[in-house]
Structure 1
Amino acid sequence: METLEFEIKINASPEKVWTVLWEDTHYRQWTSAFTKGSFYVGTWDEGSIVKFFDPNNNGMYSRVLKNDPNKEMSFLHLGEIYDGVETPQDWGDATETYLLEKTDDGTLLKARIKTSEEFKAFFEGKFPQALQNVKNLAENQL
């Protein structure tokens, strides 16, 4: 596993950034950087399972490890979903964590992903645009 880290400064409160990250409509907008039409099914409650889908209803499922509103959200990726079938994967500690730090002029948003070599280039190519989408939404639409 390799840990990738991305961060962006956002001129908006942690509360606004949090809303952009996890409220359904905004989530669909910023995650379009990964796949247009992305959406989730489930809740953000700690311990719950969230399913992340593309427009073809394929994707992955994860357990919410931590939900500390306006500060931290963390997932453990458990498996893939294809044609409605969940298939567990041996991804070890494949986690995705979002950290929000209040600053004098807004929020520092950090994303930390533990991933296999297989997905490294994808995340390195897509995550900067995804965080830019979060910034644009938080600064201009809320």
Structure 2
Amino acid sequence: MENLEFKIEINASAATVWKALWEDQNYRQWTTAFCDGSYAKTDWKEGSRVHFLAPAGDGMYSTIETLVPNKKMFFSHIGEIKNFEEQPLNDETRQWSGARENYTLSENNGTTTLQVDLDITEKYADYFKGAFPKGLTLVKEIAEKLNG
């Protein structure tokens, strides 16, 4: 498992960046960098399950391990979803089950640094190295527009 780190400076408050990340309409917008039409099904509460889904019903399920509004959202990924159903772990998913995806926001004088740390298998590292910067650029655009 490889650990990747991405950072972006956003000219908006942490509360505004938080809305850009996690409000449904905004989430759907910035995650197009990974899969057009992707969305999340959850109540966005600490300890809750999250289904990260593509329109056809495939994706992955995770748990919100840590949630501190406007500061931290930490996920632990568990397994795959196929046809909107959580799948039992198999040899491939066992390799990444427990992988972390952590979002940390820190605000200083109206500018927020958004840092994302994620564990990734070598198979997907290059994909995420390309897609995550695009996604974070979209988060920045959304937040700065909300701020505007």
TM range (shorter): over 0.9
RMSD of aligned residue pairs (Cα, Å): 1.1
More helix by share: 2
- Matched to 2:48, the amino acid is S
The equivalent position to 2:102 in structure 1, one of 62, 87, 97, is 97
Distance in 2, matches of 1:140 and 1:85, equals 36
1:92 Cα offset (Å) = 4.2
Distance in 2, matches of 1:36 and 1:123, equals 15
Q: What's the TM-score once normalised by structure 2's chain length?
A: 0.92
The 3-state SS of whatever aligns with 2:78 is: strand
Structure 1 residue 47 and structure 2 residue 47: aligned?
yes
Structure 1 residue 6 and structure 2 residue 6: aligned?
yes
1:100-119 equivalent positions in 2, closer than 5 A: 100-119=105-124
1:122 Cα offset (Å) = 1.1
- Matched to 1:23, the amino acid is E
1:85 Cα offset (Å) = 2.8
How many residue pairs get matched? 142
The runs of at least 4 consecutive aligned structure 1 residues that moved more than 6 Å come to none
Structure 1 residue runs of 5 or longer lacking an equivalent are none
Which residue of structure 2 aligns with residue 33 of structure 1?
Answer: 33
The equivalent position to 2:138 in structure 1, one of 124, 130, 133, is 133
What percent identity do the matched residue pairs reach? 44
1:103 Cα offset (Å) = 1.6
Instruction: Check conservation: 2:78, 2:98, Cα contact below 8 A.
Output: no
Q: What's the TM-score once normalised by structure 1's chain length?
A: 0.96
